[in-house]
Amino acid sequence: MAGLIKKHFPKSTIVFLGRNYTKDVIALSEHVDEFINYDDLEKLSPEERIAELKKINADVFVHVFPKKEIAQLAKSAGIPLRVGTKNRIYHWLTCNKLINLSRKNSDLHESQLNFKLLSFLNIETSVSLTSVSDYYGFTKVPILNSDHKQLIDPNRFNVILHPKSKGSAREWGIDNFEKLIELLPKEKFKIFISGTEQEGKLMPELLKNKNIIDLTGKLSLQQYIAFINAANGLVAASTGPLHIAAALNKKAIGLFVPKRPMHPGRWMPIGKNASFVVFDKDCVDCKNGKDCNCIIKINPKQIVDLLE
């Protein structure tokens, strides 16, 4: 969204209001001029929050991720143009520009839905999936420190496997990742396992495998991003690392179920070398909204073939 705005309004200043954990990702984009940490704002009194937001002297506030408290804050701060969707009742009370946008039954990708929120600018907001990555602007990638850089093998394909998702996506399962590791030719691939320290504790047997390098809990987000940039590919469910790898033009392979709203049509990784896999796009249980683990039926050999 920031990239599309900058394309049409290159002299605009774009401020991103987000949680602290998103800061290092937002810092990658050349299109974002300033970051405000909402975690810090929440610690302030209501009066102090309003004062902080007034300091920005913003002309427009776009509610991409709808949150009632933020909608009320933007109105209280007197921001002249406040943009939200029509299907949030509180936006009728707090916004003065309402966009007719429903995500629930849409066939558009999440990124394409977000572009639609910019229709008030009277610019073309129908962006094809193949063009979305043109707007990332991820040019400010941090430098990988020497200790981690030495782990990268210039003579092999360096692939990061990210088995867990912190509950944000259906997971492929540790057993499948173990099978994938066994199938990947060791002379061709150097394999890394990533995740948080807590996630590492959930897969102790996998991390004992002599054919992998354990990165769990060992990298800051900045260094993890730098490591993804230095590697060649990444395999994961629908998680942040998958989308970062896609945006950095790595061979990013996403593992999905076809169930709405978590299906790849909505959340596939978008990048020049990104792809996704589902076991059965017509899975009956997924189509009927039932809990389904058809993702675990994805054959590890299929992932090997994609990586090769």
One pLDDT digit (tens) per residue for the chain, 308 residues: 999 999 999 999 999 999 999 999 999 999 999 999 999 999 999 999 999 999 999 999 999 999 999 999 999 999 999 999 999 999 999 999 999 998 888 899 999 999 999 999 999 999 999 999 999 999 999 999 999 999 999 999 999 999 999 888 889 999 999 999 999 999 999 999 999 999 999 999 999 999 999 999 999 999 999 999 999 999 999 999 999 999 999 999 999 999 888 899 999 999 999 999 999 888 888 878 787 889 999 999 999 999 99
Buried b / exposed e over 149-164, threshold 16 CB at 10 Å, is: eeeeeeeebbbbbbbb
In a 3-state reduction of DSSP, which class is residue 165?
A: coil
Domain with CATH 3.40.50.2000 in the chain: 146-307
CB 165 within 8 A of CB 196: no
Exposed, middle or buried: residue 63 (CB in 10 Å: 0-12, 13-18, 19+)? buried
Q: For the domain 2-135, what is the CATH code?
A: 3.40.50
In a 3-state reduction of DSSP, which class is residue 27?
A: coil
| Alpha carbons 100 and 112: distance in angstroms, whole number | 14
Phi and psi for 306 in degrees, rounded to 5? -65, -40
Exposed, middle or buried: residue 267 (CB in 10 Å: 0-12, 13-18, 19+)? buried
CB 237 within 8 A of CB 170: yes
CB 187 within 8 A of CB 218: no
The CA-atom distances, in angstroms, between 31 and each of 136, 245, 277, 292 are 8, 19, 31, 39
**Fold category of 146-307 in CATH:** Rossmann fold (3.40.50)
Kind of pairing, strands 189-193 and 157-162?
parallel
